[in-house]
Amino acid sequence: MTKRKHRGGRVTPSPNSPTSTLDTPERTPRLTLPRPASITPRRGAVKPGVVGLRRPVPDAIGRPPYAATGQPPATRGSNVSSPDVIARMRVAGALAAEVLLEVGAAVAPGVTTDELDAITHAAAIARDCYPSPLNYRGFPKSVCTSVNEVICHGIPDSRPLADGDIVNIDVTVYHDGVHGDTNATFFVGDVDPESQRLVRETRVAMYKGIEAVRPGGHVYDIGRAIEEHAIAQRLGVVREFIGHGIGEQFHGGLQILHYFDTRADTVLEPGMTFTIEPMITLGSPDLRVWDDGWTAVTIDGSRSAQFEHTLVVTERGAEILTVTADGGCAADLAAGA
């Protein structure tokens, strides 16, 4: 059981304390009007908590090459995966989807992100999977948990989730020599309408990106579809982090931009395996990284959401690999689906 802890209550706009944004000298008394959600005062920024010890993985679990050293081998090989690799990725992808569903179900106010890490770790091991983030380039935990203005690569720590937070959980597992990588953004208790819109439209953006995949098309079709949706919704697209080739390696050679750039002119071919994982912001997508070297946050403090699937290009379009045997996934249960 977790103790319910409140880190500052819900901030309710008070007519007696207008935000400086609205506070102009000639202001007339109109403070009873509803205030745009984008300037609703929020509780404080996410701050680093205490990161616990690394969780051990039983010897019986097959490990990726970087598990011991922290250094993945140099990227190599074709962008097209063999039928054998794709078949194994189907299994790993389903296991990743199961783990994400299990961890997502545990999201609630008062639960710490380290507890989400413990659940991910145990759920991966129970499925004969190595949790791919663990010691990947030195990452200290088994999953990424990114709260509110954290864009990606948040390190699970002692911070309890608070009512009104949004949290992205990014699960990657390694099973039978291949990785499956998937994430979803979850609501913690009651979430404000503007954050709900962000999460809902980020999910739509991911699926628009996936629907843009067709053999003979180009990688830039994906970014164009995502960016067009974000622009129409007046949302920002993060540029510094992108989707990636995946298979026997966690991060392969393919680079999948989530915005339109004619330089992303790689032709899509059946058998290519990669992720689509747009990070979308309510405000500016400009980011900085905490001193921990991982946690990416928006500079303006605006919230960011993300969804991710691993997929393979088929003769007709794309097959999503990160779904359970019955075709389910966290993205389709959660938030605004």
113 binds, among ligand MF3, Co ion, none (CB under 5 to 8 A by kind): none
The residues in 243-282 that bind ligand MF3, with binding defined as CB under 6 A, are 244, 275, 277
Pairing of the two strands 166-175 and 144-147? antiparallel
For residue 132, the minimal CB distance to ligand MF3 (Å) is 7
Residues 6 or more apart in contact with residue 5 via CB below 8 angstroms: 110, 160
Q: List, in sequence order, every beta strand (DSSP E) within 19-72.
A: none
Q: Which is nearer to Co ion, 187 or 307 (CB)?
A: 307
153 binds, among Co ion, ligand MF3, none (CB under 5 to 8 A by kind): ligand MF3
The residues in 156-185 that bind Co ion, with binding defined as CB under 5 A, are 170, 181, 183
Angle at 205 between CA 139 and CA 240, to 5 degrees: 40
Pair 308, 275: CB distance under 8 Å = yes
Separation CA 202–CA 117 (nearest Å): 24
139 binds, among ligand MF3, Co ion, none (CB under 5 to 8 A by kind): ligand MF3
Q: Which is nearer to ligand MF3, 164 or 182 (CB)?
A: 182
* Binding test (CB under 6 A) with ligand MF3, winner from 66, 139, 174, 186: 139
The residues in 298-327 that bind Co ion, with binding defined as CB under 5 A, are 308
* Binding test (CB under 6 A) with ligand MF3, winner from 144, 279, 296, 335: 144
Which range touches ligand MF3 (CB under 6 A), out of 83-91, 94-102, 131-139, 224-232?
Answer: 131-139
Pair 148, 172: CB distance under 8 Å = no
Pair 280, 336: CB distance under 8 Å = no
Which range touches ligand MF3 (CB under 6 A), out of 75-83, 103-111, 114-122, 135-143?
Answer: 135-143
Q: Which is nearer to Co ion, 110 or 133 (CB)?
A: 133
Separation CA 113–CA 146 (nearest Å): 9
Separation CA 81–CA 83 (nearest Å): 7
Pair 311, 333: CB distance under 8 Å = no
Q: Which is nearer to ligand MF3, 137 or 316 (CB)?
A: 137
* Binding test (CB under 6 A) with ligand MF3, winner from 93, 133, 252, 285: 133
For tokens 């097209």, the residue is: 80
Which x/- pattern over 183-212 shows residues binding Co ion (rule: CB under 5 A)?
x-----------------------------
Helices (H), the chain: 66-69, 83-105, 113-126, 193-211, 219-232, 330-333
Which range touches Co ion (CB under 5 A), out of 91-99, 135-143, 275-283, 321-329?
Answer: 275-283
247 binds, among Co ion, ligand MF3, none (CB under 5 to 8 A by kind): none
For residue 126, the minimal CB distance to ligand MF3 (Å) is 20
Structure token digits, residue 327: 């075709």
Dihedral sign, Cα of residue 205, residue 46, residue 191, residue 108: positive
Residue with smallest beta-carbon separation from ligand MF3: 133
User: Buried b vs exposed e over 131-148: b needs ≥16 C-beta within 10 Å?
Assistant: bbbbbbeebbbbbbbbbb
Report if residue 275 touches Co ion, rule: CB under 5 A.
yes
Task: Give the closest residue to 219 by CA, choosing from 252, 268, 253, 258.
Answer: 268
The residues in 155-214 that bind ligand MF3, with binding defined as CB under 6 A, are 170, 172, 181
* Binding test (CB under 6 A) with ligand MF3, winner from 187, 308, 313, 329: 308
- Residues near ligand MF3 (CB under 6 A) are 133, 136-137, 139, 144, 153, 170, 172, 181, 244, 275, 277, 294, 308
Q: Which residues bind Co ion (CB under 5 A)?
A: 170, 181, 183, 275, 277, 308
